[in-house]
Amino acid sequence: MTQPKTSEPAREASPGSEHDGGARGRSPRGSAYGITRVRDPLSWRAEWGRQWGRRRTLVAFGLLLALPLILVVAFAFGDDDDGGRRGSAASRIFDLAQSGAANFSLVVVFLASELLLILIAALFCGDAVPSEASWSSLRYLLVAPVRRARLLTSKAVIGLASTMLATALLPAWALLVGGIAYGWDPLTNPLGENLTWAQFLPRLALACAYIFITLLPIAAIAFWLGTRSDAPLAAVGGAVLINILANILDQLDALDPYRNALPGHYGRAWQDALAIEPQWADMIHGTLWSLVWAVAFTMLAYRRFRRADILS
């Protein structure tokens, strides 16, 4: 496609765009047409609608909402026959989960934070760019014109917002399901100590905020891999595999103290916020290392996407 010869906006077109839609300021109709073509791909509202219009988003949230219901059904069947595990630590924890909404929500959050939320973060942030590339729609977004940095920012913001929504929705839904199934008793830990609702709810919100922060490295790694591949599965699966490898390395005592810098080393520190006397040291360290990894891989993603040959 040929470039306009005298149009000033053509020199301001974003990198990777082949044209700027013509001289947009010469007529109201042309101006409106040009503005429409620029604003639509850049709108976070439009990107949010695209996110929720995709089947994988609905499936991910469906699984998230189904988890507490599945646990209630599983506990109901388990009441009849515990298989002789009544004295085990796992059995005591699951028994406490049936003592009230607070305990049930903590068990749900614990189980989801080990894998499900990691998969969701990798899916929402790693699938955004390669899915556009696999559909051959990425090049058309860039010739709108859309600046590459703005396009990538839109994908990242919506992916993180969806992850944040999932992280906040899970405990709220678990509290409701647990309250209906087991009553509204406050939190009771395995030592018999209690937290009132006034103490528990702010700490639960803080714990969920910390869980979201610990998901940022996985989201950033998936986001970076997504800028390097046209296959969504490669970005999502690659981030999950890296997380598994980091967890394996974290089990090696010989790597002390370097393993403290691994993304998932402080992944369970959110439980310290719910103790009778909370400890904040591990949560502070986990927050700092998570932000370091997230910023580093996000910068790599922008660097890669800015230099990638997308239009050919």
Digitized pLDDT (tens) for each residue of the chain, 312 residues in all = 444 444 434 333 444 443 343 333 344 444 444 444 444 445 778 778 878 888 889 999 999 999 999 999 998 886 555 544 454 455 667 778 898 999 999 999 999 999 999 999 999 999 878 776 555 555 555 555 557 778 888 889 999 999 999 999 999 999 999 999 999 999 987 766 788 999 999 999 999 999 999 999 999 999 999 988 888 889 999 999 999 999 999 999 999 899 999 999 999 999 999 988 898 999 999 999 999 999 999 999 999 887 765 554
How far apart are the two ends of the chain, measured CA to CA in Å? Answer: 13
Sign of CA dihedral 61, 66, 67, 69: positive
Number of C-beta neighbours around residue 204 at 10 A: 24
In angstroms, the CA 253 to CA 249 distance is 9
Cβ-contact 232, 159 below 8 angstroms: no
Q: Residue-wise over 256-265: b if at least 16 C-beta within 10 A, else e? A: eeebeebbbb
pTM (two decimals): 0.80
**Three-class secondary structure of residue 283 per DSSP:** helix
